[in-house]
């Protein structure tokens, strides 16, 4: 198989090829699907191959090797190992209880592959967010066409080479190209579309899927707030938050987007955050030379961050921590803004960079009101020792998930569903939830004995009496 591009092969032909093979793929056994997962696992165990990934990601946005290992390779491998371990159990028919009105029957759920899936992956964690959903597409018995981001060309080329080596094109194919390729793919009648990206593009994907009534999983984002109560362990939380905000230079869908700190603790938090940055990146005044600090992906995103930053300053925000920006390097330093107001653009858009607005609140109800004035976030972060405060925040806000007294952990447990709500996403995945996302849950009822014929027409008085009894005693 050769790397597939729109110039090399017609998309409709490729789609038809996978569509024809999909029934055979759907009928694979657990051992056959596990063999495909093992291909991925052996690939990730190959140090030479993974060095190639590290080199590609350094070329795309100067990502440190340890960060690639932690946030890309280790995550995908953990998904693949978990799916391999659990797949036989996931694939078994799941028996459910039967109501007395259906006495004589048994009922169960059979998980069948949806068919041909489309995975559109983003640039910020290109390997992780391409291969993690692929694990579940394969576990559920689907074929897959992958469209990675064109903004990370070196990593996309690496993944194209990997897919070519690991799978025949009727099983998995990767197509490189710009947004026009995604547009062309979205015109095809896929059975399921898995998209990771912005809410704006997510709406386009959902509209395209609706034309074919295709199911979707939309992993989006939004402004994930980090609430810090007066009872919180400020030093520890600020240190962990600094790591979460600067990982991948803040270009993470679950990164803490802004802080809501109890008013009396604002200055303490800002100082603790400053100390946290110094612990993570010693001699932070020369951070531009630090090999552990990533870069903004491209000039356009750099300028977008600059626009948000300058708009906030023009409307009264103050820079409590910052440094010199470097456009040629696409370098944005960890920046803390205080004296924020909600009319600033930076409080409307997902930041996706190492800029941290800090707002204050005087009561839990005020913090909740600030959060509720925005679309529902992907993740809610709560920092507190006061259990009543924690519960109040959980009860009065809505988010895809929540992390208490730490940051960035929502993607870490494959036994938990991951995904947003409304503007931050539709559908969940990871672990069994990822298997279900790519499966049709077929409901099956089997008659073993008995009958409902006593309630068939003609509706005599006897039938009416039986129905009345059923309604009174059983329903």
Active site amino acids: 219, 253
- Helix/strand/coil for 356: strand
Query: Of 156, 24, 134, which Cα lies nearest the Cα of 77?
Result: 134
Do the beta carbons of residue 301 and residue 258 sit within 8 Å?
A: no
Task: Render 319-362 in DSSP notation, one character per residue.
Answer: EEE----BTTTTB---EEEES--TTSGGGTS---SSEEEEEEES
DSSP state of 258: E
Q: Which residues contact 312 (CB under 8 A, 6 or more apart)?
A: 337, 340, 344, 345, 346, 357
Distance of CA 26 to the CA centre of its chain: 25
Which alpha helices (H) appear in 107-151, and where do they start and end? 128-139
Dihedral sign, Cα of residue 405, residue 409, residue 415, residue 416: positive
Query: For residue 420, how far is the Cα from the chain centroid?
Result: 8
- How far, in Å, CA of 43 to CA of 383, rounded? 39
Separation between Cα atoms, residue 182 and residue 211, nearest integer Å: 15
């Amino acid at each position: 198989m050769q790397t597939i591009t729109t110039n090399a092969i017609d998309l409709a032909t490729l789609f038809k090829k996978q569509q024809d093979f999909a029934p055979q793929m759907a009928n694979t056994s657990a051992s056959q699907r596990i063999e495909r997962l093992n291909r991925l696992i052996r690939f990730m165990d190959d140090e030479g191959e993974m060095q190639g990934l590290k080199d590609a990601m350094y070329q795309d946005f100067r990502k440190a090797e340890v960060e690639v290992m932690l946030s890309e390779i280790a995550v995908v491998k953990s998904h693949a190992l978990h799916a391999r371990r659990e797949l036989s159990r996931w694939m078994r028919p799941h028996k459910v209880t039967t109501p007395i009105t259906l006495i004589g029957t048994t009922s169960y759920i059979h998980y069948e592959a949806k068919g041909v899936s489309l995975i559109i992956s983003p640039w910020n964690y290109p390997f992780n967010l391409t291969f993690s959903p692929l694990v579940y597409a394969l576990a559920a018995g689907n074929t897959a066409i992958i469209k990675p981001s064109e903004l990370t060309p070196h990593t996309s080329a690496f993944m194209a080479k990997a897919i070519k080596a690991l799978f025949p094109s009727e099983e998995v194919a990767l197509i490189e190209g710009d947004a026009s390729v995604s547009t062309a793919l979205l015109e095809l009648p896929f059975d399921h579309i898995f998209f990771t990206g912005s809410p704006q593009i997510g709406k386009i994907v959902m509209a395209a899927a609706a034309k074919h009534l295709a199911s979707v999983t939309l992993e989006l984002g939004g402004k994930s707030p980090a609430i810090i109560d007066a009872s919180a362990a400020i030093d520890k939380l600020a240190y962990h938050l600094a790591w979460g905000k600067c990982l991948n230079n803040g270009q993470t869908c679950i990164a803490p987007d802004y802080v809501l700190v109890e008013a009396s603790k604002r200055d303490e938090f800002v100082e603790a955050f400053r100390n946290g940055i110094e612990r993570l990146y010693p001699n932070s005044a020369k951070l531009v030379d630090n090999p552990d600090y990533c870069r903004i992906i491209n000039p356009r995103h750099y300028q977008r961050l600059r626009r948000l930053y300058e708009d906030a300053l023009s409307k009264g925000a103050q820079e409590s921590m910052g440094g010199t920006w470097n456009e040629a390097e696409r370098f944005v330093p960890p920046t803390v803004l205080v004296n924020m107001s909600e009319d600033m653009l930076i409080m409307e858009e997902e930041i996706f960079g190492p800029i941290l607005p800090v707002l204050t609140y005087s009561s839990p109800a005020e913090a909740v009101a600030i959060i509720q004035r925005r679309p529902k976030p992907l993740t809610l972060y709560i920092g507190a020792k006061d259990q009543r405060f924690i519960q109040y925040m959980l009860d009065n806000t809505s988010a895809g998930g929540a992390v208490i007294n730490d940051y960035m952990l929502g993607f870490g447990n494959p036994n938990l569903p991951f995904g947003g709500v409304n503007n931050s996403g539709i559908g969940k995945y990871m672990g069994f939830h990822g298997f279900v996302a790519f499966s049709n849950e077929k409901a099956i009822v089997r008659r073993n004995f008995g009958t409902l014929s006593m309630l068939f027409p003609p509706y005599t008085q006897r039938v009416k009496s039986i129905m009345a009894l059923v309604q009174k005693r059983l329903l």
